[in-house]
Structure 1
Amino acid sequence: MSLEIEQHERFQRLEWAWERVGTALVTLFILAGLLGLVAAGPLSWSSRSSATEVVTVEFDRVIGHEADESITLHFGPEAVVDGAITVELTGSWPGGISLQGITPQPSEQRAVPDGMVLEIPVATAGTTEVSVSFRGQEYGTLDGELAVGDESVSFSQFVTP
């Protein structure tokens, strides 16, 4: 007794090909997540410094929209002038975020074209660390440039839904 089953070999091969493509895409997405390209992981954060390392910024490359985030700014003793650090932050980053807080609190904060200027008082000489808390308000890439005197450093963050 034999059964006659109609087979669609061409359709079966196409289905197997799509299955392999789907498996590869899921594997790549999982690897990207584990490495920190779409979530927290070893490749998710970055640090950029100016030429003479007077100013350094530490930040996450990928952030979530409306998620509580922060960047850390480090300033060398050369950045202090008359007991304060004057920081100019420009680019699409300042306009694409909602500022939640700055620690230590700036003595002055003012808007400039395409950004903001912060005056941060410094009580003791040495390296100064400033934490900026914010929430991303726009989707896509936000570019920022941080300048202290003649020293500047650029950074970029990608805001996901």
Structure 2
Amino acid sequence: MDEHDEMRSRTYPVKEDMAFQRRMWTVERVGRYGLCLLLLLTLAGLFSRGPLSWATLELTHATLEYDRFLRNGSHTDVTLDLHAPGATRTVAVLGGEALDAISLESIQPQAESMRTVRDGLELTFRADDTGHTRAHLSLGVNGLGLQRAYLRVGDDTVPFWIFIFP
């Protein structure tokens, strides 16, 4: 028997449809590659913490480090660096629809003042001698789907997004 005989359909001893079998082998191969790709994306942080999830926003006088991909019911930490040379206080506004899906649990160091503004939360921090403040915000996540937000420091505003998985 040669190789071509093995790939032909037959009825004896078992009925085989080799054209269908070859399609099924292709589907299995594609499925295997798809699962490997999904595993690699998961390890890289698509569904939680990792290099694909880490993000940094840069403004003239601020930097925000956060995770793009979160899970509902989880907690995340955000780092906010504010630098305004010569200023004694630094002010940042976090706003957008994402504030409906996250809750502020703690801030270190404590903000000098917090107040709600039209569509966000204004945080005022005491700056050090160089006008620098680094704040760590602990957030609780209670939402689903794509959430849009923005960071405003002075006249600079930069939009960003987070995605919350169930």
Structure 2 unaligned runs (5+)?
1-11
**Contact 2:55–2:68 (CA under 8 A) maintained in structure 1:** yes
> Rg bigger for which structure?
2
Structure 1 unaligned runs (5+)?
none
What's the % identity of the aligned pairs? Answer: 32
Shift of 1:93: 1.9
Aligned residue for 2:122, secondary structure, equals strand
Q: How do 1:43-62 and structure 2 match up within 5 A?
A: 43-50=52-59, 52=60, 54-62=61-69
Shift of 1:114: 2.1
Q: Who is 1:131 aligned against? A: 136
Aligned residue for 1:21, secondary structure, equals helix
Q: Who is 1:117 aligned against? A: 122
Match of 1:64 among 71, 76, 79: 71
Shift of 1:96: 1.5
Letter matched to residue 68 of structure 1: H
Aligned residue for 2:37, secondary structure, equals helix
Shift of 1:123: 4.5
In structure 2, how many angstroms separate the alpha carbons of the residues matched to 1:13 and 1:151? 58
Shift of 1:97: 0.3
Q: How do 1:12-161 and structure 2 match up within 5 A?
A: 12-50=21-59, 52=60, 54-78=61-85, 80=87, 83-161=88-166
String of CA shifts for 1:88-109, please: whole Å, max 9, x gaps.
1111122220111111111221
In structure 2, how many angstroms separate the alpha carbons of the residues matched to 1:138 and 1:151? 27
Letter matched to residue 102 of structure 1: I
Normalised to the residue count of structure 1, the TM-score between the two structures is 0.85
Q: RMSD over aligned Cα, in angstroms?
A: 1.9
